[in-house]
Amino acid sequence: MQEKQEIKVGGTNLQWNWGEGLFQFEGVDVVLFWTKTALKTFIDTIEEVTGTESARIVMETAGYRTGKIFSGFYKENGEKAEDILAFLPNIYAAAGWGAIEFKQLCLTERRAILSIRNDWESKVVHAQGKENPGTFLGGHWAGIFSGLLDETIWYKITEYNLTDEGSYKEIELYPSPTTPSENVREHIQTQEQQTIMQLEAMVENRTIELRKMIRELSSPVIPVLDGILVTPVMGRFDQERSDDFTETALQAIVEHKASMLILDVTGIKAMDSLILSTLEKVTQSIQLIGAVPIIAGISPKLGMEMNSKGIYLKDLKCFATLKHAVHYAIALEGIQIVKKKEE
């Protein structure tokens, strides 16, 4: 067997060198892939790693860039665009890229419509079990025309048929400001925006959960005896927490059919206007539904501070400790606590 062999197919030169393991197409190194197995696996892997939409952009961009490289290879020889386009169908047919025909071609207007029968990309799509056309060949021909005409050319697929017997597609090429780089940038921005929105939604959901947990932990309503409830008032208040605190207190009174609610302010170190307004609002609301509000835990220091600021809890029963407030509530209910006699 000869180590070197050369044949011409449709005016295209193919050369092999077995000794060196080389295969050349028009004097340039190339490699062969099985379409429905190796090439399909290659594209499947890209889609698996990047996602279907990202893979679509990747293939389209790769097609465009290889098209510009291909056109540059022939332009370097000083050939005219119309002459290059005249023999390209034979070049691509010899390479197994399908039977190509220019249905319309007007270089003055920078427009063309070409048809491709039995292209490799459609064979891969068919092997994948898909129906929509790929993006590589459309981007590739847009790249070829962009390189030949020194102007940005883009594409759209106007007709596409895929059957077990073969495939047919028509690609329209036309001047456009759209470029693969812009598509990639837009795609990345879209992906980033979607990721940001997903993260924001996760943060918002988590924030809602944490707020609910904080409300439940910071303002628990504790049944002491039948008809008597206690809730601690502590921490920092904003308007939202103030409203939640009032609502929780009233709901607990109704739910437990309580007649008294003791508000324990032992955890409050400094009485500000919002805490005061919260206490005024909740105590008035408790009275409106027929229950008795009681304030517990006002220390001498807090009492002096409130007095210096002119803050007075008028018409409310206030006690220094929670113990005293509970005893008062029990007495108000007519309940007596009797120490058990030792037998």
pLDDT tens, position by position, 283-316: 889 999 999 999 998 888 777 777 776 666 667 7
Task: Quote the DSSP letter at residue 257.
Answer: T
How buried is residue 62: exposed, middle or buried, by Cβ count under 10 Å (0-12/13-18/19+)? middle
**pLDDT confidence of residue 196:** 66
Q: Which amino acid is at 36?
A: K
Integer CA distances (angstroms), 233 to 34, 322, 330, in order: 75, 12, 21
3-state secondary structure at position 129:
coil
**pLDDT confidence of residue 192:** 59
**pLDDT confidence of residue 14:** 87
d(CA 148, CA 112): 13
List, for the chain, all residue ranges whose pLDDT scores fall below the cut of 50: none
Instruction: Give this prediction's pTM.
Output: 0.56
| Cβ contact 48:54 at 8 Å | no
| Cβ contact 123:35 at 8 Å | yes
**pLDDT confidence of residue 157:** 94
Residue 229 neighbours by CB under 8 Å, 6+ apart:
221, 222, 223, 252, 253, 256, 258, 260, 261, 262
- At residue 262, φ and ψ (nearest 5 deg) are -95, 125
Other beta carbons within 10 Å of 165: 7
d(CA 76, CA 104): 26
Task: Quote the DSSP letter at residue 101.
Answer: E
**pLDDT confidence of residue 237:** 81
pLDDT tens-place string over residues 38-65? 999 989 998 888 888 888 888 888 899 8
pLDDT tens-place string over residues 173-203? 999 887 666 655 665 565 556 666 777 778 7
